[in-house]
Amino acid sequence: MRLNDIKELTLPKRRDEEFIKVNFGELFSYDFKNTQNYNLDIMGLEVKKDTKEYANSLFEITKSLDKNQVILTINSNIPEPICLIHKIKENETFFTNSLKIEVKENVKASVIEVFTNTSTNSAYCVNRSFEVNENANLEYAKIQDINDLNYLLFNLDVNQKDNSKCKITNFEYGTGVIVNNIVSILDNKNCDYELNGLVKSIDSSSTANVIKTVHNKENSISNINYKHSLKDNSRAVFKALSRVNKDALFSKAFQNSNTILLSNDAAIYAQPHLEILIDELEASHGATTGTLDKDQLLYLQSRGINKNLAYEILLKAFESKIYDNIEDKLIKEFIDSYERKKYV
């Protein structure tokens, strides 16, 4: 099965502005021997047909192979995060999975997802839909640890009601070809939306984050903050579009991308972009790319710290700012203790 051969499927073209610089070629042209729906090991969840029309065509890849969507409804406050572990084992297989997480009114919830594998030449195409109802609060963390010769396409659609809060933190550790397609349309008042990410790449990994946020109602906040530490021949793409429309008075829209290149061959394409149609707002965007501060390295060495340890101290200080933004203490503990070998 080749995605390029599915006639009813409209895939992004190489020159499409929304996805320019994103590496789709291998995924779309690879001939997978099998297709399979990845079933979550949770009993009693509702399954419905996914009839939503999404913001871009990447969501349609999963829907073209599996039109059903599993519904995880959270009706009351939960003391611990819900943890979902995905482990791809079969080779030469294209997996799909679609999950909607609905947090009911006045409910606070936390969810962790881990994506890992032992497969070769397989792909996992994931659709996620978050519905955060009025006065609800969802904190979500994702660990992606897919190794080379494998693909992950992670599509996320976020829908928030009045006075809701949604905080997302993504940790990208894998060495495969990874595309995260994240869309949030803020159609209601007083929404607080925060998206943080750490891309920690080595070898020849390729990680793209394509992010679209639209403010349509007043007093909504979006804050997008990504950090990249890129080593060896790794590549990253950061494309963020935040649009503030005329009815979104007194909104706040922030974007920031910071990158440290740890080798001469690592590279990033960063393109933060704001489209502002009103004057009554706060907004900023920026992107920086550089290396570890040599003066700081020398200072630590002058204090008796060897060069390798000084290097690690500075790198951890840079990366930990994403970790420090996590509010749920149990999510923090999970991220801090995560080791790939526990989940493969």
Predicted local distance difference test score (pLDDT) of residue 195: 98
Predicted local distance difference test score (pLDDT) of residue 90: 95
Kindly list the domain boundaries of the chain, sorted by start residue: 3-292
114 is written with which tokens? 């881990």
DSSP code of 18? Answer: G
Residues in CB range of 47: below 8 A, 6 or more apart: 68, 69, 70, 71
Average pLDDT, the chain: 94
Contact 176, 148 (CB under 8 A): yes
148 is written with which tokens? 């080379």
Q: What DSSP assignment string belongs to 65-130?
A: H--EEEEEEE-S--SS-EEEEEEE--TTEEEEEEEEEEE-TT-EEEEEEEEEE--SS-EEEEEEEE
Mean predicted confidence (pLDDT) in 20-42: 91
Contact 227, 319 (CB under 8 A): yes
Distance, CA of 265 to CA of 308 (rounded, Å): 20
Higher pLDDT, 34 or 300: 34
211 is written with which tokens? 């992010």
Predicted local distance difference test score (pLDDT) of residue 15: 80
Does the pLDDT value for residue 294 go beyond 90? no
Provide the edge-to-edge strand list for the sheet that holds 281-290: 82-88, 108-117, 137-145, 165-172, 192-201, 221-230, 251-261, 281-290
Does the pLDDT value for residue 116 go beyond 90? yes
Q: Kindly report the CA angle at 175 between 90 and 33, in degrees rounded to 5?
A: 25
CB-count burial class (<10 Å; 0-12, 13-18, 19+) for 94 = buried
Q: How many residues does the chain have?
A: 344
Does the pLDDT value for residue 119 go beyond 80? yes
The percentage of the chain sitting over the pLDDT mark of 90, rounded to a whole number, equals 81
Does the pLDDT value for residue 343 go beyond 90? no
Contact 147, 340 (CB under 8 A): no
| 219-273 pLDDT tens trace | 999 999 999 999 999 999 999 999 999 999 999 999 999 999 999 999 999 999 9
Predicted local distance difference test score (pLDDT) of residue 312: 86
Predicted local distance difference test score (pLDDT) of residue 3: 94
Predicted local distance difference test score (pLDDT) of residue 55: 85
Predicted local distance difference test score (pLDDT) of residue 92: 97
Q: Which of 54-58, 118-122, 134-138, 222-226 has the lowest mean pLDDT?
A: 54-58
Does the pLDDT value for residue 297 go beyond 90? no
